Structure 1
């Protein structure tokens, strides 16, 4: 079993109204050093071992998890920790 962590963010140049609101709210709270905030998505998957894990995850991202037109993504694949 593998743990796949997918990080999805808006591409540079794409307006991020949620990030702008976070930045403005932090400024109001006194964190004036925050000049920009970008909000993204974090997805964690448990995936069965197989020879094409990276290619399959890339397909998942392109078809469902991310919108490749406006979002960038990267992912990490690691051994799942069983507890």
Structure 2
């Protein structure tokens, strides 16, 4: 348990930041789930639009420090190839 005033303030700041980051991560997951569902349904156009909506959301998570740059880059790359495969199939 925090004893000093500065430690108590740090605890409050961490709790506030954690809540914000949790909301941001949840938002990103929602966008990713929409892309996944569109891919599984086999609808190429829906998959493309969902992917176009998810891409900037992932980039925003990187700029806010919620996710690592390489992680997001990998996710975008893999999703992109899967969306292209839906269009070809």
**In terms of Rg, which structure is larger?**
2
Give the number of the structure whose residues are more often helix, by fraction: 2
Is the shorter-chain TM-score for this pair beyond 0.5, marking a shared fold?
Answer: no
TM-score of the pair, normalised by structure 2: 0.26
Give the number of the structure whose residues are more often strand, by fraction: 1
